[in-house]
Structures are given as structure tokens and as C-alpha cells.
Homo-oligomer: A and B are copies of this chain.
């Protein structure tokens, strides 16, 4: 399928089935802001839960926290964002559109078609000026400079300024990490590609504090760990690769940076970054706050400012990756089918339950099965509308791995059919075993 095709089909499926809607659509939309619908929020919740489980609950050496979006403005002076978190902005004096200077070759000018090589050669472009990407607002009842606060452009700084609070309260020894999931905001000049680059987005970031000298080893370990995590979501290995930043790409705080890229329909793009941030951030916060942030080892009494290995993944990008990787078109019994082959653990609905007919006690039995699944915390969906074939198709598009049908035979021998989304196999099991069957399937399917 051509790139445009796939993205158009995905955006359309996302709206039709309730994964993702354009924000404020009835008002013509808000630029590159998206809302998650009923299925989308469940998919996103599953991504966040998988990250939190792997990064926090299954480990001794990483603790979670949740810093506020609005922080003290000095935080962003110390981090370098006030001075340096900028993009070079140029304006076409004719069409008045604004562009990132470093992305001119692939930008759309009002007078030229998208992706035309040299589209801006004959445009009258302004000189580039630096444009800060932080959203700013005013806190307290006075709109004056003293009350300017920023919407955080990353969660990481919240972990740095709380480093000693967390280390002390959670009685951690180096090496240990602080994990956060939360919203961040960047006033991108040219956002785009659906939920890939948006002005409001969600990050899952982990800062791992280590003794200087052990940072390179930890960098490798975390890079491998994070690559394994993406594979555990059921993504095809050939669609993931590493990209090491060259000296010209490295951020000011980074000694080394490797991206984990995914092959989206619009190209290989950054999904996650693993960064060796050295002691840059903690040192700057010491300098700007006047507070010591050294770690003192309770055993030997060694004192040092830790180095930080950061893993930073976009939650929305991970959702988009899962949608892209799972999207399939095939033909079933002579009929075209769209299916999201999501890993069962990621699927918004684990099991849909259908009564074959709306009578004969079948709806009641189907309801009982749904209730039993829900009691075991398994998201389940009841549907009695339309033919069984149409009900299957809707669940295929929702990515539901198993459909359970209650039919005439159920009232005779107590068995139901379970239909597998991918193999299309149907087998009969006793209705009392549906819950166990789904739980086993979740264990097997990851």
C-alpha cells in the first residue's frame, strides 16, 4: 500500500471506530491536536500500563513519580530551555506562512505544492529568527513578567529537581531511576503526521542515576532493555532500528544519544531516545538553585554528582506504531476485511460476546459471560446488533482478539464458540471455561 493510502485509511479507521478524533472538530479542529475516543484511550492506557509495569512495578531500582506540568520558571533557565529550546523560523513574505528553516525542503508553501524540490527557491523568505518552543502562561492574578510560567516541554526536569527527595524518601542507593508518565507541550512550528508530532503529547521518561564511569555500560543495558520492550508489544522486529546521533545532531546536554526508530508509513522516525545526559542537568540545577544535589553513599561515604542515562518514549507515537504495525487488509470468505492484529495484551477489548439471536435466552447467557469476564477485570463487550458476520467485522477493526458466540447449542450442552481474530479458527468450549480461556490467551499472546 502506498504511504498516503495507509495513513488516510488509518485516520479514517481511527475516527470510524472511535480510536482518535480531531480535537474540537465541530469548531473546525485545533491545529494538530487530537482527542482519544473510547477504543483509543483503552489502547493508550494499555501502552502506559505496560511501560509502568516493566519500568516500575517489576523492578527494585526504579521508582515512579508524577511532577506537575507547571514548574518554577527557574527550572527552565537551568535546563537551558529558556535560552536554547528554539527553532529557526522563516516567513514567506508572499504567502505569510511560517516555516522551520531546517525543514524548508519538505515544507508546503502557500504558492507551491507539497514536497516539490526547491519549492521556496523563488519565494521571498524573511531572515530566520529563533522561536522558543515553550508555551508560556501567567500564574496568579497579575499578568506580569514575574508570574510567567511555562508548560513543561519534557517531564525529565521534574525528576531532576526531585532527585534527592525521591532518593531519600524511597531509601534508594545509586544506581536507581525515577520514572514518569505525563503530558508535555511544545509549540512546534510544523507539527504533523497525525498523532506523530503534536503540540500536546504524552511522554514516558525514565532518568537513571549512576556513578560516573558506569554510565556507558548502563547506556547499553537500557538501550537493549527498551528495544526488548517494544518487541514485547508485538511489533515486527524488522520495523525497528537504531540510529546513533552524529556530533551535529547531539543535544547540548548529551554525551551520546541513540534513537529507536520505527518504520512508519511516512518513513523511519524516532520513537524513543536513549540519552547519556552526564551530570549536565544536576550540575545546572545546583548552580541555579544554590542547593547541593550530590549523592552521599550511606556505606562508604563516597560523594558524587550522578550521571544520568535517560530513556524517553512518546506514548502517542507508540500508539501510532501499534496501529500502523497491526493494520491489515485481507479477504475472508470472498469478502474484504480490515483487521487490527494487535497483541491481545494491547487490545482495547479482549473479548466480545454475541448472542446469535435476540431470543431463546441467548442474550441472558451472553450477558452472564460478559459479567464473568468483567469481574475478572477483563474488558469485555456485548453486541447483539446485526448479523454475526458484521459483528465479527466490527471487532476485527477494533482489534478484539476473541469473539464468543452463544447459540442454540449453548442452551443444550452449555458450549459456546470462540473465534480467533487472526487464525479465524472457531472452537467450542464450555461457557464456564471462557474466562480461563481468555486469561490463558493473554498469557500466551503477551
**A65, B35: Cβ atoms closer than 8 Å:** yes
Considering only residues 129-173 of chain A, those with a C-beta below 8 Å from chain B are 131, 135-142, 149, 151, 158, 161-162, 165-166, 169-171
**B25, A37: Cβ atoms closer than 8 Å:** no
Chain A interfacial residues counted at CB < 8 A: 81
Q: Which residue from B17, B27, B65, B183 sits with its C-beta under 8 Å from A161?
A: B27
Considering only residues 14-32 of chain A, those with a C-beta below 8 Å from chain B are 15-18, 21, 23-31
Bound CA span A131–B199, Å: 28
Chain B residues near A53: list those with CB within 8 A. Answer: 377
**B18, A38: Cβ atoms closer than 8 Å:** no
Chain B residues near A170: list those with CB within 8 A. Answer: 18, 37-38
The distance from the CB of A137 to the nearest CB of chain B, in whole angstroms, is 5
Q: From DSSP, what is the main secondary structure of chain A's interface residues? A: mixed
Bound CA span A74–B25, Å: 11
How many identical chains are in the complex?
Answer: 2
Bound CA span A162–B41, Å: 14
The distance from the CB of A370 to the nearest CB of chain B, in whole angstroms, is 8
**B141, A33: Cβ atoms closer than 8 Å:** no
The distance from the CB of A148 to the nearest CB of chain B, in whole angstroms, is 11
Q: Is A317 an interface residue (CB 8 A)?
A: no
**A18, B183: Cβ atoms closer than 8 Å:** no
Chain B residues near A16: list those with CB within 8 A. Answer: 169
Residue of B nearest to A133 (CB): B141
Given contacts A17-B169, A41-B65, is CB(A72)–CB(B162) below 8 Å?
no
The distance from the CB of A27 to the nearest CB of chain B, in whole angstroms, is 4
Chain A residues proximal to chain B, CB less than 8 Å: 15-18, 21, 23-31, 33-42, 44-45, 52-53, 57-58, 60, 63-72, 74-75, 89, 98, 131, 135-142, 149, 151, 158, 161-162, 165-166, 169-171, 183, 185, 187, 189, 199-200, 285, 288-289, 291, 293, 370, 374, 377, 379, 382, 385
A-B contact pairs, 14 of them (CB 8 A): A18-B169, A23-B67, A23-B68, A27-B288, A30-B72, A36-B67, A38-B64, A38-B170, A40-B66, A41-B66, A45-B52, A57-B377, A70-B199, A140-B189
